[in-house]
Structure 1
Amino acid sequence: MNDALIPGRHSVPSLSALAAFEAAARHGSFTRAAEELNLTQGAVSRQVAQLEKGLGVALFERAKKRVSLTAAGAAYAADIRDGLSRLALATVSAMAFRGAAGVLNLASLPTFGTRWLIPRLPRFTEAHPGITINFASKLVPFDFGREPLDAAIHFGEPVWPGARLHRLMGEEIVPVASPALVERFGIDEPVDMLKLPLLQQSTRPRAWANWLERQGLPPQRAMMGPRFEQFAMVAQAAVAGLGLAIVPRFLVEEELRSGALVIPVDRPVTGEEGYYLVYPAEKAGLPTVIAFRDWLLAECGAGG
């Protein structure tokens, strides 16, 4: 019987064979894979050969002492790497259940997580001391079926196929700048802002256009200016005097209190979009998801 394949269940390859193949694919070398796995080079070579035999597909091209992935091998390696990573995370999550009520793997928008959610988490851990929350950063929606995550914080429309959504809050968008920049350029009216660079946030490409249009100003320059991936970076760029930022007010409360940023023209704009807790329908009954959902909705005053 082929040791590289487990009988039944469509002959799933053994983990040892998959680990040997993934390491050899990543290093492009059986020798370096053997060093990583604490095996002999011959053992890795045999595992890969048995895997190829079981699959009926050549995964490597062999030329003297060098190996390189075939097209099939490269595609298989990418899938296997993802699968092994998910298995490793699942194992760590299972181990975390020892003496605990459970683990919640949560994806959060980075600035929302650091500025709003994490400062409030001590209240959650006090109410649920046995639940551990693991954080990942996600800027855009993703497929729960391909990510080892239980829930996510989403901004936008209440649309996420196959998932349940709970609205948490809306937001007020305001322009902010360093006090020195405001004084230097004499910003008193919305039109004065067109003198300055407009700092851009990558996932909100129309933020400036929407604000300018609400003030009756032409949006031609709305998308011109340095671009940043996260609101935290945009806020810091504004503090440094690189230009004007357009941000949710609640995400820069600390800078506004300290005076590092000011709102030169306080004309907030609100929209239909909002922040949502999202989780796949099949995880709606998980105790960790239920506990976090109920706490978060109460914290936001959303009520359901």
Structure 2
Amino acid sequence: MNVPRKFLPSISSLRALEALDRLGSASAAAEELALTQGAVSRQLQTLERQLGMALVQRDQKRLMLTSEAQDYAAEIRQALNQIVQSTLRLQAAPLAGTLNLAILPAFGMRWLMPRLPEFSRLHPDVTINMSTRLEPFNFGSELFDAAIHFGDASWPGTDSLLLKHEQLLPVCAPQLLAGRLISEPKEILKLPLLHIQTRTMAWRDWFGQHGVATSGDLSGTIYDQFATITQAALHGLGVALMPDYLVEQDLATGRLVALHPEPVETEGAYYLVWPERKSTAPALKKFRRWLAGKAQPEDPLPR
């Protein structure tokens, strides 16, 4: 990457700018950076000369950033944090295999977590760092080695492993029914419906698969995560269309009841997705080979 030097200021100058913006005073910035206030001021002057613009308002001995410099510092802060995280990962990698994994919160908690102790026993040399992400993202801007996500595995520049198809059940708390029996899918339309933000067409598709015509919008409250919609269903706020693996325990204990005897498979599925350029990473290869044995149709672990 051949970039003119004026667009790549020194890390020292950028750290001085970021610290002054965050801490609000040159003395606090100097203390954090183990410099004198004069050195901080000189770093900022160097940056101003390099960029060809004023960044600091100097009022006697007080230094304040211009509004433009404050916006610049906020963006630089993200870049500096990314450098720190990348350095930590690089330093940790020779000591043990490290896998940085993005997961969906509900699937990660209920499906992946119960299986991970086995992986840890088989591969104690691999450390898995996990962060939750609800939506697909760009691997170029997020420093993950792989992600477990729902969809059709159509991310560009990636490979994937199918883990599990999603099967949905309509469920609600027993008290919502008040003794009423639901014998046909169309009768569910008389009850309040709960919607999940990431599956906006789920109810319409489910009714369509059961020959129930729906017109207009299906009203009801919307939730952004399965954890919250599950709680809404448990407290009798409505009927939720839930993945079967998420409600098995609540159905077994009677906290929820199923309003249809069989789950219905959806078009989407859960996949392990990784960038093609990371395919040969040792930690990812170990995790991928192990996870392949847990993927559909092999799924022996009770949930």
In terms of mean alpha carbon deviation, does 126-135 or 44-53 score higher?
44-53
| 3-state DSSP of counterpart to 2:150 | strand
Q: Structure 1 residue aligned with 2:86, among 87, 90, 115?
A: 90
Asked whether the equivalents of residues 108 and 153 of structure 1 are also in contact (C-alpha less than 8 Å), the reply is yes
1:61–1:70 Cα contact (<8 Å) kept:
no
CA RMSD, 1 decimal: 2.5
Deviation at 1:129, TM superposition (A): 0.4
Corresponding residue for residue 14 of structure 2: 18
Structure having greater relative contact order (Cα 8 Å, sep ≥ 6): 2
* Structure 2 alignment gaps of length 5 or more: 299-303
Contact 1:182/1:264, CA 8 A, preserved across alignment = no
- TM-score by structure 1 length? 0.86
Out of 37, 50, 54, the position equivalent to 2:50 is: 54
Correspondence 1:286 to 2:273: no
**Aligned-partner SS, 2:129:** strand
The 3-state SS of whatever aligns with 2:188 is helix
Letter in 1 for 2:192: P
- Once structures 1 and 2 are overlaid, which stretch shifts more, 56-65 or 229-238? 56-65
Distance 1:52 1:250, change over 3 A: same
Percent of aligned pairs with the same residue?
45
| Paired residue total | 294
Q: Structure 1 residues 9, 197: CA separation in 2 closer, same or farther (over 3 Å shift)?
A: same
CA distance in 2, matches of 1:62, 1:186: 75
Structure-to-structure mapping, 1:1-304, within 5 angstroms = 10-11=4-5, 12-61=8-57, 65=62, 67-71=64-68, 73-74=69-70, 76-97=72-93, 99-100=95-96, 102-220=97-215, 223-301=218-296
Gaps of at least 5 residues in structure 1 are 1-7
Q: Secondary structure at the match of 2:162?
A: strand
Does structure 2 retain, via aligned residues, the 8 Å contact 1:206–1:223? no
1:155–1:275 CA contact under 8 A, matched in 2: yes
What secondary structure is seen at the aligned counterpart in 1 of 2:257?
Answer: coil
Q: Is the 8 A contact 1:164 1:279 kept in 2?
A: yes
Q: Name the SS of the counterpart of 1:81 in structure 2.
A: helix
Whole-Å Cα distance in 1 between the matches of residues 181 and 65 of structure 2? Answer: 63
